[in-house]
Amino acid sequence: MEDCIFCRIVRGEIPSDKVYEDDRVLAFRDINPQAPQHVLVIPKRHIASLNDAGAEDAEILGHLQLVIPEVARRLGIAGSGYRVVVNTGPDAQQTVFHIHYHVLGGRQLQWPPG
């Protein structure tokens, strides 16, 4: 999508601190980190949210989730542990409507989340 901020990051129009990239998926550091390690993993193809994902997205979202442990290894948190969060809709405070998986780690995380 033309105006989507994460599509613009995919196209290289907005710089990002990339951690992982392949033909379908991009992972980059969150601009407003909530933990010592905080990375967003996104499909390069625009999907607005989990609510907007359909059967045609099963393969890309499956691939994306399989990429997450590799991202965690690159961040050095695969062994210590990490949390994966997909904020969806207003109550979850989703602010960017291009689906993104937050990967958070590098400290003891609290449960339940706020």
Binding ligand DGP by CB under 6 A: which of 12, 54, 79, 93?
A: 93
For residues 21 and 74, is the Cβ–Cβ distance under 8 A? Answer: no
Which of 38, 63, 98, 100 is catalytic? The answer is 100
Examine residue 95 and tell whether it contacts ligand DGP (CB under 6 A): yes
> Is 100 among the catalytic positions?
yes
- Among the residue ranges 18-26, 56-64, 68-76, 93-101, the one whose residues contact ligand DGP (CB under 6 A): 93-101
Residue 12 structure tokens: 């290289």
What is the three-class DSSP state of 85? strand
Q: Which is nearer to ligand DGP, 50 or 78 (CB)?
A: 50
| Rounded (10°) CA dihedral 59, 21, 31, 4 | -60
DSSP string, 22-43: -SSEEEEE-SS-SSSEEEEEEE
Examine residue 113 and tell whether it contacts ligand DGP (CB under 6 A): no
Examine residue 49 and tell whether it contacts ligand DGP (CB under 6 A): no
Examine residue 16 and tell whether it contacts ligand DGP (CB under 6 A): yes
Angle at 58 between CA 104 and CA 6, to 5 degrees: 50
List active site positions.
Answer: 100
Residues of the shown chain interacting with ligand DGP in the complex, contacts defined by CB under 6 A: 5, 14, 16, 28-32, 40, 87, 93-96
